[in-house]
């Protein structure tokens, strides 16, 4: 019976000593979480009003949210008597261990932050990175998703993209289409140029500025090669590319201009 009274007294004393601290800490935790949620929403609205890139807003909102939660957790721990210095030391050691185990993932995270901050490309841009060509469909914090001309989904780690070269074909708003068409040496180069210019200017997706050009690029073994260079929006590249070759061939045939093919003369000699 005496032991029961002793434990009861200790329990009461514990409640008297720590009860208010625990209740206060819980109250601070509940109010703090509500305030953090409210602050995060306000911050996101502020980013939207400030015309921050849409791909950057979720990341910045999450960063603010988790930073405030970490500070709140440390404050609550100090209120109930936990030594925050040792708590921070434990968190630091755990962070170091996790960082060593997740070096590749953290590299992709850092790459994602760099991409979102410096914006070498944005949603809808046609880019070439790590040997892949495609339209940017999604920029996540760890990976970038591209849609290839063959309608394939390409997922590239951001660490690799941020440490490699990137070709952004959409940055200037126009992309040059490089085509080469050969005509015979007997054909009229000036007439062929006029025909091919008409083929390009008749296509609605070929831009007038920069102006398309046709120039002699090479004197080959069996043909005079013409460099045909229209410009178009990046998303119209293949439409214009195929149009130039298909309609160019038909227009040259109609104009009586020959497109040669390699030929070889074989001479047979009969001996004795």
What is the average pLDDT across 218-239?
90
Residues 193, 247: Cα–Cα separation, whole Å: 14
pLDDT in tens, 196-217: 999 999 999 999 988 999 999 9
The CATH class of the 2-101 domain is: mainly alpha
DSSP annotation of 212 reads: P
Sheet of strand 153-157, all strands in order from the earlier edge strand to the far edge: 153-157, 143-147, 132-139, 126-129, 166-168
Q: What is the mean pLDDT of residues 162-183?
A: 88
Q: How far, in Å, CA of 223 to CA of 221, rounded?
A: 6
Q: What is the mean pLDDT of the chain?
A: 81
pLDDT above 90 (res 194): yes
Residue that is written with structure tokens 């003369």 in the block: 265
Residue 227: its pLDDT value, please? 95
Do 182 and 260 meet the contact criterion of CB atoms below 8 Å apart? Answer: yes
CATH 2.30.30.60 in the chain, residues?
Answer: 120-168
Residue owning tokens 């440390």: 74
pTM of the model: 0.56
Q: Do 172 and 165 meet the contact criterion of CB atoms below 8 Å apart?
A: no
Q: Are 187 and 149 in contact (CB under 8 A)?
A: no
Give CA 12 to chain center in angstroms: 61
Beta strand 213-219 pairing with 143-147: unpaired
Mutual orientation of helices 189-201 and 237-254 as an angle, nearest 10°? Answer: 140
- pLDDT one-digit tens code per residue, 61-114: 777 887 888 788 877 777 766 666 666 666 666 666 655 544 556 778 788 888
CATH 2.30.30.60 fits 120-168, yes or no: yes
Quote the percentage of the chain above a pLDDT of 70: 78
CATH class, range 175-254:
alpha beta
Q: How far apart are CA 168 and CA 175, in angstroms?
A: 10
> Which residue intervals of the chain bear CATH 3.30.70.100?
175-254
- The per-residue pLDDT for range 105-141, each reduced to its tens digit, is 677 878 888 887 788 888 888 899 999 988 898 887 7
Q: Could you tell me which of 188, 171, 184, 180 has the C-alpha nearest to residue 233?
A: 171
Where in the chain do CATH 1.10.287.1260 domains reside?
Answer: 2-101
**What does the block give as tokens for 238?**
């293949």
130 DSSP assignment = T
């Amino acid at each position: 019976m005496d032991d029961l009274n002793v434990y009861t007294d200790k329990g009461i004393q514990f409640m008297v000593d720590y009860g208010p601290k625990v209740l206060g800490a819980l109250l601070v935790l509940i109010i703090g979480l509500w305030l953090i949620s409210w602050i995060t929403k306000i911050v996101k609205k502020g980013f939207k009003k400030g015309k921050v890139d849409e791909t950057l807003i979720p990341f910045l909102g999450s960063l603010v949210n988790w930073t405030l939660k970490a500070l709140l957790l440390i404050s609550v721990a100090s209120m109930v008597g936990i030594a925050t210095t040792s708590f921070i030391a434990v968190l630091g050691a755990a962070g170091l261990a996790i960082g060593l185990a997740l070096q590749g993932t953290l590299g992709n995270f850092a790459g994602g932050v760099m991409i979102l901050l410096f914006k070498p490309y944005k949603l809808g841009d046609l880019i070439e990175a790590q040997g892949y060509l495609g339209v940017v469909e999604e920029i996540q914090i760890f990976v970038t998703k591209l849609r290839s001309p063959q309608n394939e989904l390409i997922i590239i780690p951001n660490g690799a993209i941020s440490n490699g070269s990137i070709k952004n074909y959409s940055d200037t708003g126009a992309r040059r289409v490089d085509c080469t068409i050969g005509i015979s040496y007997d054909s009229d180069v000036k007439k062929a140029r006029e025909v091919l210019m008409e083929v390009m200017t008749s296509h609605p997706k070929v831009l007038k500025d920069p102006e398309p050009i046709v120039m002699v690029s090479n004197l080959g073994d069996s043909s005079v090669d013409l460099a045909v260079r229209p410009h178009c929006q990046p998303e119209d590249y293949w439409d214009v590319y195929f149009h130039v070759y298909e309609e160019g061939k038909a227009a040259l045939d109609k104009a009586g201009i020959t497109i040669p093919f390699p030929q070889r003369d074989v001479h047979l000699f009969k001996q004795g």
